[in-house]
Every structure is written in C-alpha cells, then in structure tokens.
Amino acid sequence: MNPTVVKIFKNYISSTWKIKFLWVVLFGVLIGALGTIEPLIFTEFIKAIEIYIATWEIDMSYIILLSLFWGGFAVVFIILSYLFDYFFLAKTIIKNYHDQSLHYARRISKMTFGHYLSKQVGWMYKILDRGTENQLFFLYSLLLWVLRSITQVIFITIILFVINWKMAVATLILVPVAVWIGLFIYKRVAPTQKKLDEQYIHWFWILWNGLSNFWLTKILNLEKVFYKKMEKIFEDSFKKQLRVNMWWSLWHWYTAAVVIVSRIIVIAVGFYLITLWEIDFATLFLFFSYIGWIYFPLSFIFDQLRQFQKYLTAVEIMHEEFDDIDHEDIDKGKSIKNPKWNISFKNVSFWYLEWKNILNNINIDIESWSKIALVWNTGAGKSTIINLILRFWDIDSGLITLDGQDISQIKKSSLRSHIGVVSQDNSLFNLSIEENLKFAKPNATKKEIVTALKNAEAHFVFDLENNMKTVIGERGLKLSGWEKQRISIARLFLKNPEILILDEATSALDNTTERKIEKALKKLMKWKTSLIIAHRLSTIQHVDTIFMLENGKIVESGNYKQLMKTKKKFHTLANPDKLILG
C-alpha cells in the first residue's frame, strides 16, 4: 500500500480512535448496501403491472403496503445518509484536519533557527495549506463516495447472481474489461499528473518569491522575469495536462460505450431467457436497471483515482517537508530562579559550517547591571553572539553561563522571556500597532501603551487616522524605517526585560531623535544587564566595557577612554568628529 495512504489513515485513526473508525467503515458499508435495495422495490411494482396486464386484476392492499414501505425506506435512507455524512464523517474528518493543521503548525513554530534559514516561508505555507486540505478531501472522497461505490458494486453483484446467474454473467461480462482499461489509463497518466501537480506548486513558489520581495522586485524591474518563469511553467503544464485529460476523456467515453454494449447484451440475453420462460419481464427490467449502478460507480472510482493522485502528491510533499523538520523544545530545562543577570562567555567557539569559523575562543564577562558594547565591521560575529545568548544556536565548544549556570540547561522560553531585543531590521506583524505592542505584554493597559510610545518618541502614532488601531501591513511595510524602529523600542519599554540587547537600535534615527531615544534608553537600561551593538560612538562612549571583534576574535577590550589611549585599531577607526566608528 502507498506509504502516504498508510500515514493518512494512521493520523485519521489516532484522532478518531480505532472503534470509531470501524463504525465509520461499517456505517459506510451499510449506506452503500441500502442504496442497492431500491431497484428491488420498484421491480415489485413492475411485477404488479405485469399481473394486471395478464389478468386485469390488481392487489391494491399490496400496492399500498409496497408504496408505504418504499416511502419509509426513502425516509430512513435519507436520515441514515445524513447521520453518516455529518456525525460519522464530517465530524471525524474535520477534527482530523484540525489536529493535523495544529500538529504541523506546532512543528513549524518550534523549528530551529537554522532550519528556518534554509526554508522559503511562502513555500512552507503553501505546502501546509495544500497538504492538510487535500488530506481532508482524500478522506472525505474515499470514505463517503468510493466506499459507497465499492459496496454497491459488491452487493449488486451478489444480488444478481442470487436472482439469475445467466443474467448476472451477461450484465457483468464487461466489468473485467472496464477495470483493465481503467487501470491501464491510470498507470499511464498517474506519473505525469504527479509531476504536473508538483509544477503547479513550484509556480506558486515563484509567485510568492516575487510578492515576498515586492519592493526589490519593483526596484530591479523583475515583474517580467517572474512572469516569464510562471508563463513557461504554464505553457509546459498546459500541453501535458491536455494529454493527460485526453486519456481521462477516453475513459469517460469508453465507460459510456461499455454501458451501451452491456444494455444490448442484457436485452438480448434477457429476451432469449423470457422466451424460455426462465425469467419474467420484471427480472429483465431489474437487471437492465442495475447496469448503470455497476458501470457508472466503477467509472467514478477510476475518476477519483485521478483526484487521489493530486491529493496524495500534496500530502506526500507535506510529510517530506515537515515530518523530519528540526525542532526545538523551548520548555526543556530549568526555569530561571533568583537571577542576578551575570552573563559569561568562556572559551566559546562557533561555526555555521566546518570551513567557516564565526567565533574563536571568545571570553566575555558581562556583570549584573553593566553595559557592554560589541563593535567592528559586519561579519565579525557580533550578531552571532546575540543569537547564542538567545539560544538560536548552540555553541560548538566552550561554555555560556547565566549566573554560573550553563544556559543550555535553562529553558529557552524562560531565558527569552527575560531578554528584550531591538535590531536594525525590525520586523512587525501585519496587525495593528496596539496588537504588535501587546505581544510584549498581553495585559498592558492603554495608559501603559501610550507611555511606552511616548518614551520611544513614537508620537507619530497619535497623529494616524486610526491611532494605535492602525494596521501596519506585511512586516510593517506601511511604516518608514525610523517609525518601525520607534515601535520596536516602544515594545521594549513595554516588556521591560532584565537583559537588553540593542543591535543598532538607533541606526535609523536622525541625530535629534537619536539623542531623545538614547536618553530614554539610558533610563530603561538602569538596573539592567545591557549588550549594545553600534557603529555610532555616541551610543557606546559611556558603556562599562567595549569589546572589539575581528574575524571572530576579541582583539581589544576596555572602556572608551582606555581604548582611545592605547591608540590601536579602535583608536584608528574611531572618528569623534563624525561620532561614528569606521
């Protein structure tokens, strides 16, 4: 059996329980079996008509009883079908859809930072959306329609052979041929259809890539480039899809031809058996009626195989993408208790790749409530140190401690809850300003939010048409760089963490605003352990210790005055006139 189908049913059974799953199957078989009874009922009416034509007599009591039975059967069948569709199928399959969506959403949200960097966000979203949705379609189609169709074919076959085996053979003689043709067509087009489904997903990835970098797409005039890529995929897919659909259309035509030929065979054999007095007209009518009840369900089953190919491709890609995803347990370890907020790096080395050493034997001591700065050029390892403190990465050698305790033994959730970060690239959610700020403090009052905005010099918010209710767009694109920066700083004021990390926190601000923000940040940094990354000397002149990094190593350390007196690299790069470093 297809391993993806096995996974789907394992997931479905785990969310419905085995006994309930068995009830779903048994109830589905019951509905399918009941659906085969109706032709037997109206055959009895045909027999009554035959008797009336032959004798001019009719048993009205029997006709009334038969009519009542038929009406009662129809009511019961409709009610049972509804109960099966809603209470057995819809509830269990939708629950499975929710369970799977939450399961993979949880896995995605817990994936490691390194795994995230190797993925395309839009690609992951589309795979999850298509995978969970197509699993729902697969289960619903299989358990509602295919199960019913298979059950009907089996029960009708049994009924026909019980009534008259000669007529049964005449009715079913083309079934093996129809099945063989269906399997032949399916095997011929299934691999191509799978590749086409993968191409359609790739088309979406190209579109998302352009939209997620919309500004860059416009700046570099890449609209036509992305369009041509998508057009090329569609031109190729269009031709292949036409060929695939040609085969499926052939199957539909062949089914219609089989039904016509079967009717001719049944009429011919039935007429012959009537002349021999082996069957009556009502029996011939019954067999003739059941032809469509056999061949059209078979046609439907093979038609669903085409849909199943599409469903299973999407589900298979979802499993490939997310089942082995690297994830982190943010609640594994100990919670921080009675902290003093001393951070220490002892002989720490780290590399993303074996041939690319980022940090080499780093030793840094950040005493409680002290302020340190990391300086030098891009790629020297400053941001990596921040990511190691936040435990986005685990070090390759050495030790990082908080109050003497190895931070790898501390819960990531506990550690990060006490750290506040403002970086150069301040991403915000496509929500209102108020909602973005409340992520830092969910129970914050309006007064606290207003105070945080004022402390961050984000007075522009109060001039917006919708004030704090303003929705700021994807990643905050409706705001300018300095506006996003101020919102991020306001978020930091609201969170009021014990450890502050300022990664070029004032880089997007003008000098006047920078001075105002620095004044507010100094107030915020009071009685806090602070780590600052900056190029502006005004930001780091008054910190306790400056660490200068080069090629992953600390080459100088000391306070501003000490480093200027040594007249080494820091002194060479410092430019007091422009208040910048470099």
Specify if 37 maps to a domain: yes
Residues forming a β-bridge with 557: 547
Other CB atoms closer than 10 Å to residue 117's CB: what's the count? 9
Give the residue among 120, 160, 130 at the shortest CA–CA distance from 288: 160
Please say if the pLDDT value at position 448 is more than 90: yes
Q: Which amino acid is at 198?
A: E
Cβ burial of 527 (10 Å; 0-12, 13-18, 19+) is: exposed
CATH number at residue 47: 1.20.1560.10
Specify if 427 maps to a domain: no
| Secondary structure of residue 5 in the 3-state scheme | helix
CA distance 490 to 459: 11
Other CB atoms closer than 10 Å to residue 190's CB: what's the count? 17
Q: What is the pLDDT of residues 341-399, one digit of tens each?
A: 889 999 998 877 655 667 888 898 888 889 998 887 555 566 788 888 888 888 888 99
Please say if the pLDDT value at position 579 is more than 50: no
* Predicted local distance difference test score (pLDDT) of residue 476: 67
Q: Are 341 and 368 in contact (CB under 8 A)?
A: yes
Q: What is the pLDDT of residues 95-147, one digit of tens each?
A: 888 888 888 888 888 887 777 776 767 677 778 888 899 899 999 888 888 88
Specify if 317 maps to a domain: yes
Q: Are 301 and 184 in contact (CB under 8 A)?
A: no
Q: Is 581 left (phi over 0), alpha (psi -120 to 50) or beta?
A: beta
Mean pLDDT of all residues belonging to the chain? 82
Scanning the structure block, which residue is given the tokens 């790096």? 345
Q: Which amino acid is at 399?
A: L
Specify if 438 maps to a domain: no
Q: Are 318 and 312 in contact (CB under 8 A)?
A: no
> 245 lies in which domain range?
3-322
CA distance 523 to 6: 60
Specify if 59 maps to a domain: yes
- Distance set, CA 298 to CA 154, 160, 244, 284 (Å): 11, 17, 19, 22
Q: What is the pLDDT of residues 253-305, one digit of tens each?
A: 777 888 888 889 999 998 899 888 888 888 888 898 888 888 888 888 877 87
How far, in whole angstroms, is CA 206 from its chain's centroid?
Answer: 18
Specify if 194 maps to a domain: yes
Specify if 119 maps to a domain: yes
| Secondary structure of residue 168 in the 3-state scheme | helix
CA distance 456 to 486: 6
Q: For residue 335, what is the DSSP state?
A: P
Q: What is the pLDDT of residues 485-508, one digit of tens each?
A: 888 888 888 988 889 888 877 666
- Number of compact structural domains in the chain: 1
* Predicted local distance difference test score (pLDDT) of residue 380: 53
Query: Average pLDDT for residues 12-28, to the nearest whole number?
Result: 83
CA distance 13 to 99: 12
Specify if 578 maps to a domain: no
Cβ burial of 334 (10 Å; 0-12, 13-18, 19+) is: exposed
> What tokens does 313 get?
């491709």
Q: Indicate the pTM of the whole model.
A: 0.72
CA distance 42 to 290: 12
